[in-house]
Amino acid sequence: MLFTTRGARPFTDFAYEVGDTLLFGRESAGAPDEVHAAADARLLIPMAAHTRSLNVVAAAAMALGEALRQTNGFPSPVQEM
């Protein structure tokens, strides 16, 4: 799944599966056209009007958090005795 400003589908509307690979391009230039062409999905992180961009680490954290939430990938909390 490629996260890109050229994506049309919001990342929160995508159904993630265990084993999905999340791809992010360079902050300065994004992902090359051949990566766009090879990606199974091109996802967008919606932003408020007149904002510049997200840092790639912030974008990756948001995307990974959503993917883990959907796939129950977060560890269960430790139960205190």
- The answer to whether 36 and 42 have CB atoms below 8 angstroms apart is yes
Q: What's the whole-number mean pLDDT along residues 39-53?
A: 90
Name the more confident of 10 and 29.
10
User: So where are the chain's domains?
Assistant: 2-70
Per cent of the chain over pLDDT 90 is 68
CB count within 10 Å of CB 26 equals 9
Q: Residue 2: which H helix or E strand, with range?
A: strand 2-3
Record the pTM: 0.85
CA separation for the pair 6, 4 (Å, rounded): 5
CATH superfamily entry for domain 2-70 = SPOUT methyltransferase, trefoil knot domain (3.40.1280.10)
pLDDT at 54: 85
The arithmetic mean of pLDDT across residues 51-62, rounded, is 89
Which residues make Cβ contacts (< 8 Å) with residue 17, sequence separation at least 6?
A: 71
In this structure, are residues 10 and 43 in contact, taking their beta carbons and an 8 Å threshold?
yes
pLDDT for 81 equals: 67
